[in-house]
Amino acid sequence: MALTPEFVGKQYPDTAPYLIGREKVREFATAIGEQSPVFHDLAEAVRMGYSDLPAPPTFAFVLTHKAMAAAMFDPDLGLDYSRVVHGEQAFEYRRPLVAGDEVVVTSHIADIHSRGANEFLVTQADVVSLDGELIVRTRGIIASRGTAA
């Protein structure tokens, strides 16, 4: 089943506010093998100029995954998840995420296009502070194998 191209631009509901905690930053850093003290030791983070523990750059995926899933699992989009492979992920930071930031994620479908027999779904998710500051923009591309018209 082909994707519905009219969905380009469709917005999805914002996520609930998420407070980034120090232990979550430390746990994520440990899980990805990041041993730098700046991600684990508050005194080192402050010495390096951060207001609190900075999150590793890919931590944004923790925040945006749920928002992007709303698009991928939208039943009206026509995406057969059994045919999906992850294609690409990009992060554009305005500033680092740090423990103590409280954020929401806004998301929409940025593009749908095909190449050969495959379709590509491009989602964009913005991590925004509660006062409206864009902190990081993510773009994800998934390929739907063999579904192009």
Residues 20-63 pLDDT 10s: 999 999 999 999 999 999 999 999 999 999 999 999 999 999 99
Between CA 102 and CA 145 the distance in angstroms is: 37
Distances (CA, A) of 112 to 2, 88, 92, 127: 10, 14, 21, 22
Phi, psi of 6 (to 5 degrees): -65, -10
| Positions in the chain whose pLDDT score sits under 50 | none
Stated as kind and residue range, the H or E segment containing 148 is none
Between CA 78 and CA 97 the distance in angstroms is: 34
pTM: 0.89
